[in-house]
Structure 1
Amino acid sequence: ENPLSISWHDSAWIPMLSPANVLDYFSERTNPFYDKSCNNEIIKMQRLSPEQLNNMTGMEYILLHAQEPILYVVRKQHRHSQQQVTPLADYYIIAGVVYQAPDLYSVLNSRLLTSLHNIQSAFDEALSYSRYHPSKGYWWEFKDKEDKKREGGKKKPEEMSSAFQRQRVDMLLGELADKFPPKFAQPKRGDQPVPVEEDRKPGEQAAQVKEEKSEDTPNQNHSSSGSRSNQSMQPPEKRMKLSKQS
């Protein structure tokens, strides 16, 4: 199995990880990246100080870089002497999850394969648009492809409005209601709506009716007196005819 495609973690250790115990966390038995034949395991079994690794030869693990509390880098190396070591692999621990860092060959290989795949896909798509006829030659035709995309395309589901949008609309509706008040009002719940102009107290309505009557009576008196004066101003013959008709 390719070690670049796997990861490992232990949930019990993650909350307490620190530079002092990260190597102990990495040396857990269930970690597939840890080699139990290393010098770290010998020191751990003999309960020696980690500084004794510099006096030993063979494979070992060291803490190369620490950026608390999220990132730790552990290096696997082969020690030949106190001053001479050969790096073998690097492992990075992000949020308690252990991964193996890819080497330069793996990175270049992955990037080249991705680029070749994208280029091949572009050529295949361009080839699907080309047309040829013996009398016309070669030409490009994109209509069929666009029609197929339109027929096969599905409508996206409508997104629900957010709470902010709904509250914003309510505020705008409230401002409009203040600027343009409704023409009907409902005095009590369950009653029929009443026009705002007629929504007055009975005493106010009676006072308004009395004022309207008082304004109408002078006009009626004036009209009756005017009719009498008109009759008196008419000649005697017309007055006789009017009296007979009445």
Structure 2
Amino acid sequence: MSPFWDRQCNNQILSMQTQYNDLRQPYEATVEALRKMTGIEFAVVHDQPPVWVIQKRYRRGTALDDVNPIATYYIMGANVYQSPTIYSVIANRLLTSLFHINSAFKETQKMMDFHPSKGYSWKSKAADKKDMTPLGTLRAQENQAFRHWMDRAIETSAARIPQNRHLEYNEAQGKGKANGSTADTTGSVSLRRLSSCCAYLALSPY
């Protein structure tokens, strides 16, 4: 007997009523008799050997679709399995997704490096190689430090350019064209320095 079988269902009641008959009633007669009853019943909703799908439902009336599904089971060979609910499937998929996202964050944290003066930075892939020579390790460290301070220099220079332009406008309005030319020269010098830094960064072999 299957552990999913309900001894109080209508199928069991009909089976008990006909167990002493010499000839059992056919399947069509059983289905018709179940439609005249109310309560829990089991019905085959899909049959394609070697797979059968059985539905446990509560019948409310004699109409064909006047039922409320309770559970679904499928039979493969001699084994009976209960189908999972939509809630359990979605919950399991979400739990699996969150597990992989958490694993990705942990792997990302392993690749981060923090220095009190430099802040957060990504570890260089070249620095993780076991066969790297001492010279290659030193170059990788210099490259990482150079890029960090170069980014700081570019950000500082870019922040000063709008200030120089604002000073240029104020001096041109208050003191004349001479002071305005000086401010323009200061802004041009900052631009040239920024361009030189960018060119050096692009041409750097490291």
TM-score where L is the length of structure 1? 0.44
Change (3 A) 1:93 1:143: farther
1:30-179 equivalence runs, <5 A: 31-47=2-18, 49=25, 50-51=30-31, 52-68=33-49, 70-83=50-63, 84-141=66-123, 142=125
Query: How far is the alpha carbon of 1:108 from its aligned partner?
Result: 1.1
Change (3 A) 1:42 1:120: same
Q: Percent identity?
A: 43
Q: What's the Cα RMSD here?
A: 1.9
Q: Residues of 1 paired with 2:128 and 2:4: CA distance?
A: 50
* Matched letter for residue 100 of structure 1: Q
Change (3 A) 1:87 1:145: farther
Q: Residues of 2 paired with 1:42 and 1:144: CA distance?
A: 76
* Matched letter for residue 46 of structure 1: Q
Q: Counterpart of 1:125 in 2: which secondary structure?
A: helix
Q: Residues of 1 paired with 2:103 and 2:61: CA distance?
A: 52
In structure 1, the gaps of 5 or more residues are 1-27, 148-246
Change (3 A) 1:130 1:63: same
Q: Counterpart of 2:4 in 1: which secondary structure?
A: coil
Q: Residues of 1 paired with 2:8 and 2:129: CA distance?
A: 62
* Matched letter for residue 103 of structure 1: T
1:221-232 equivalence runs, <5 A: none
TM-score where L is the length of structure 2? 0.52
Q: Residues of 2 paired with 1:118 and 1:144: CA distance?
A: 27
In structure 2, the gaps of 5 or more residues are 19-23, 131-206
* Number of matched pairs: 117
| 2:146 matched residue in structure 1 | none
Q: Residues of 2 paired with 1:41 and 1:64: CA distance?
A: 18
Q: Counterpart of 2:62 in 1: which secondary structure?
A: coil
Q: Kindly name which structure, 1 or 2, has the bigger radius of gyration based on alpha carbons.
A: 1
